[in-house]
Amino acid sequence: MSFARFLAATSATLPRQCATAGVLFATGDVIAQQAVERKGKQHDIYRTLRLGAYGGLIFAPIASTWFGKVLERVNTGSKAGNVVTKVALDQSVAAPVFTAVFFSATTIMAGGSQGDVKQKLNESWWTTLKTGWMLWTPVQVINMAFVPVQQRLLFVNVVNLGWNTFLSLMSGSKAQAPLEPIRDEVEYELREVKAHKLA
């Protein structure tokens, strides 16, 4: 298959874009679990399926609309102005929203509660967003300046392979143990010490 046919096969229609995104998100999770976390036979297949479902059913439809319809309405009168405006909008509007949607959706898909979602966002959203800005700002300059509009989601998905590995690691990371039980134990021990001194 030629490269041109490959592009057509993976980006010509929304269903193909969704399928491509699903495969790449799942692949990113496999890389995260096997190459980084070294899980081997302890691979969490449900986590991989969740990431694939998120990519194909949530991320791709939203991103396709964002790149293909919303950003294409930008017209400043010059190509350079269009690129700068699109990238600025993408990183200031879409990036924060996509990051929040990712952590919210994957936490809920894993059986988490509303409180779990809030905790995950507090732990990971800002760190992930800042890291994303460092990667995606130059990537989106290239994307908006040189990639045809119908292939921009594919370009994002290809770069996403590495980014999805990072997202999988952030999504799969466990929250630190809450401090309340530790604090309660310390307070109990202090009360015991005081009681012995008074006895």
Q: Which long-range contacts (CB under 8 A, 24 or more apart) does 127-130 make?
A: 127/170, 128/99, 128/103, 128/166, 128/167, 128/170, 129/95, 129/96, 129/99
Instruction: Tell me the C-alpha distance between 68 and 99, whole Å.
Output: 20
pLDDT tens-place values along the chain, 199 residues long: 554 566 566 666 889 889 989 999 999 999 999 999 999 999 999 999 999 999 999 999 999 999 888 998 999 999 999 999 999 999 999 999 999 999 999 999 999 999 999 999 999 999 999 999 999 999 999 999 998 887 887 788 788 889 989 999 998 775 433 334 434 544 555 565 456 545 5
Predicted local distance difference test score (pLDDT) of residue 157: 76
Please tell me the pTM assigned to this model. 0.79
Predicted local distance difference test score (pLDDT) of residue 149: 82
